[in-house]
Amino acid sequence: MRELIKVSDKKALAAFVDFPHELYAGDVNYVPELFIAQRDLLTPGKHPFYEHSEIQLFLLYDGGKVIGRIAAINNTNHNKVYESKDGFFGFFDCINDAAAAKQLFEAAQEWLKERGLTKVLGPVNFSTNEVCGLLIEGFDGPPVAMMPYNAQYYLPLLEQMGFRKNVDLRAYRYTAGTYSDRSVKLMGRIEERLKRNDIILRKINMKKFKEECNAVREVYNKAWDKNLGFVPMTDKEFDYTANDLKMILDPEFCILAEQHGKIVGFALAIPDINQILIKIKRGRLFPTGLIKLLANKKKIDGIRILLLGVVDGYRKMGIEACLYGRIIKHFEAKKMKYAEASWTLDHNDLINKPIEDIGGKLYRKYRILEKAI
């Protein structure tokens, strides 16, 4: 007997967070999310998203066992920015069963329709500022930090329900020692040219972390303003994310482009913490997970280039290539093995070309899907 419930208490929330551990048991590429982080993200009052928007979590049981989960998301800031009536789904996981997936989506869509929304997009875990996209190409390894993972049968399940492509997202992989000398030499000449325009590149000043973050936030919200689905972060949302990232941040991998004291672009790469998380059973830090996290942090030999943006008026000057180049140079100096640049929009040649020029190989694709409701 199958039963669909709305998550409304701590026990159900724990079941919601834990379900992927059961679903992907035995999958060597699955990386468990930290339980504490997921619990806080999905608890109203814990994350600033809930100050302007709302979600509803659903669980599907079969004979007392969870077989699926989904979140219906009403992102009111998104709809204000785009003057739209878009709903979102996220945190979708399900057994390979079309009827089960249909039951979950019908519940989520009904909740969205009750709020006057006319379209559903996803998977998006709150917004494109967080984890988003359905893995459709590149199932041959675990995801890197803060990137999604799912079974190959998800796309057919969604297409059977009428979902169609909205946009594809790209992930590029860079392997140590594969960049071309020509690209690096060219980067040096571009930096010299930028200096003549009083544009310099430097690493973040951790002693002034709050002030630096305030300046970067302005760039972030301006640089992505025309990207598909982007919604500017509120101050609290940005600070929440920045404080999370600060715990793993290496300042050598946070590069700022500055002119006359004004930040006009930046790039951020983070250690691939998933190398450790994949070994932490069910995402629990206690009793032994925290020891693994602390003991292995310095052994991480991969990064994810998470963010890169340049404000309008400073694009096509070569800043993007230099930001990537600086990160790759530090990557080489630290003798790391791989870097992933993700994600980029499929059609964003302004970003994709510099990645490819410096040696990045397209190796994974993700998809945002949509459907009228």
Quick one: 174-365 is in which CATH superfamily?
A: Gcn5-related N-acetyltransferase (GNAT) (3.40.630.30)
**Residues 337-355: what's their mean pLDDT?**
89
pLDDT digits (tens, 9 = 90+) for 295-326: 677 889 999 999 888 998 998 898 988 998 88
Model-level pTM? 0.92
User: Which segments within the chain are labelled E, that is strand?
Assistant: 2-6, 54-62, 65-74, 86-94, 119-122, 134-137, 164-175, 199-203, 254-259, 262-271, 302-310, 338-345, 361-372
**pLDDT at site 288:** 63
Distance CA 145, CA 153 (A): 23
Task: Give start-end residues of each CATH 3.40.630.30 domain in the chain.
Answer: 2-169, 174-365
Q: Examine the pLDDT at 161 and tell me if it is beyond 80.
A: yes
pLDDT digits (tens, 9 = 90+) for 83-127: 999 999 999 999 999 999 999 999 999 999 999 999 999 999 988
Q: Examine the pLDDT at 3 and tell me if it is beyond 90.
A: yes
Q: Choose the most confident range, by mean pLDDT, from 245-249, 331-335, 361-365.
A: 361-365
Question: Is 8 or 295 the better-scoring residue by pLDDT?
Answer: 8
3-state helix, strand, coil in the chain (%, to 5): 40, 30, 30
**pLDDT at site 181:** 61
CATH says 2-169 is which class? Answer: alpha beta
**pLDDT at site 196:** 93
**Residues 252-269: what's their mean pLDDT?**
94
Average pLDDT score, the chain = 91
Q: Examine the pLDDT at 225 and tell me if it is beyond 70.
A: no
| Confidence tier at 294 by pLDDT (50, 70, 90) | low
| Confidence tier at 182 by pLDDT (50, 70, 90) | low
Distance CA 128, CA 175 (A): 27
Which residue matches tokens 């979102």? 88
**Residues 187-210: what's their mean pLDDT?**
92
For 47, the 3-state DSSP assignment is: strand
